[in-house]
Amino acid sequence: VDLKLASRVSGIDFILGGHTHDGVPVPVEVENSGGKTVVTNAGSNGKFLAVIDIEFGATGVSGYRHRLLPVFSNLLPADRNMASYIEQVRAPFADKLNEELAVADSLLYRRGNFNGTFDQLICDGLRQQLDAQISLSPGFRWGTTVVPGEVITMDRLLDQTCMTYPETYVRDMSGSELKTILESVADNLFDPDPYLQSGGDMVRIGGLDYTIDPSKKLGERITNIIMDNGEPLDMDKRYTVAGWASVNRTPDGPLMWDVVRGYILDTRDKDNVLRLPKINYPTLVGVADNPGIADYAGILK
């Protein structure tokens, strides 16, 4: 969106973006009717600080230097007053937050454009705890990563699920309705006109795999939808689908963090280790040269 804006509006020297999950280390110089605009992006969550040194000449900007400075929060001293306030606010909930649920067998993250292993944990929890064939989870990309061998605490689970509309739901949907959902979300992300992109990331889905070609048109991007049992998704058949974070209406199902907590406690092994049985990654087509998407080794075509 910043790039298109810079191409259409003259008189802007710099656009410093800050609403993307991926830092952009090299500025993009965009030509427009008035000259050029430099577009940068420092990523999200305070991971980088964008620094631009500007040189001014007789007629305006004559040069610049751009850098992304990584923010290593563990190396910066905490503000004492804020640290004290946070500790005070968390104190009444310390026992709940520190509850140890299981030990992670693999990296549990939520950073992928299409899926992440913590997303898979959420989708698996929805399917098992709510007795559903398929599960849907919104494409959020926040939450603290849990490394292999680390304890999954309730605090870490809440990192991934705590929001103001965490209620879950179970509904019957036809295969064609599911495909429409996938196609609609994909169009929000990959419409060739940036102004028509609604943002966010691809909906996470549990219980099936699919192939996606972002370069196709609406209705043609999603193909080869296969259930975990090996059967193709039947467009006319109805399936039991569980999900959460509905923006259309408030469901009355259990809260998401309670669902995943129950799933972890029910599926951890005798050594208290949690293992993911399967990852529902899509197969991506035509994106091998796109560094913003091509992060799924072994599934690119």
Confidence class of residue 188 from pLDDT cuts 50, 70 and 90? very high
pTM above 0.85, yes or no: yes
Q: Does 297 or 281 have the greater pLDDT score?
A: 281
| pLDDT at residue number 214 | 92
CB-based contact 28:41 (threshold 8 Å)? no
Q: Answer yes or no: is pLDDT of 291 > 80.
A: no
Residue 197: name the closest of 4, 40, 28 by CA: 4
Whether 11 shows a pLDDT value over 90: the answer reads yes
Take residue 197 and report the two structure tokens written for it.
Answer: 């992109």
pLDDT, residue 121, reads 97
CB 175 within 8 A of CB 231: no
Q: At 10, which amino acid appears?
A: S
Please determine, for residue 19, whether its predicted confidence score (pLDDT) is greater than 90. no
pLDDT for the residue numbered 292: 67
| Paired tokens of 136 | 């849907």
pLDDT bin (cut points 50, 70, 90) of residue 301 is very low
Q: Please report the pLDDT score of residue 73 as a whole number.
A: 84
Q: What is the DSSP string of the chain?
A: -HHHHHHH--S--EEEE--SSS-EEEEEEEEETTEEEEEEE--STTSEEEEEEEEEETTEEEEEEEEEEE--GGGSPPPHHHHHHHHHHHGGGHHHHT-EEEEESS-B----SS--HHHHHHHHHHHHHTT-SEEEE-----S--B-TT-EEEHHHHHHHH-SS--BEEEEEEEHHHHHHHHHHHHHHHH-SSGGG---S-PPEEESEEEEE-TTS-TTTSEEEEEETTSPBPPTTSEEEEEEE--SSS---SPBHHHHHHHHHHHH--TTSEE--S---PPEE-S-TT-TTT---TT-B-
Mean pLDDT (the chain, rounded): 92
Q: With 60 as the cut, is the pLDDT of residue 260 above it?
A: yes
Q: pLDDT category, 294, cuts 50, 70, 90?
A: low
Percentage of the chain modeled with pLDDT above 70: 96
| Beta strands 283-284; 204-206: pairing state | unpaired
- Identify the pLDDT of residue 31: 97
The pLDDT of 201-213, averaged and rounded, is 95
pLDDT one-digit tens code per residue, 27-72: 999 999 999 999 999 988 788 999 999 999 998 899 999 999 999 9
What sign does the CA torsion over 280, 275, 293, 46 have?
positive
Most confidently predicted of 43-52, 148-157, 186-195 = 148-157
pLDDT (0 to 100) of residue 289:
80
Say if residue 17's pLDDT is above 90.
no
Check residue 99 and give its pLDDT. Answer: 98
Note whether 101 and 131 are within 8 A (CB).
Answer: no
Tens of pLDDT, residue by residue over 69-93, are: 999 988 989 999 999 999 999 999 9
CB 225 within 8 A of CB 208: yes
User: Would you say residue 118 has pLDDT above 90?
Assistant: yes
State the Cα–Cα distance between residues 248 and 167, nearest whole angstrom.
12
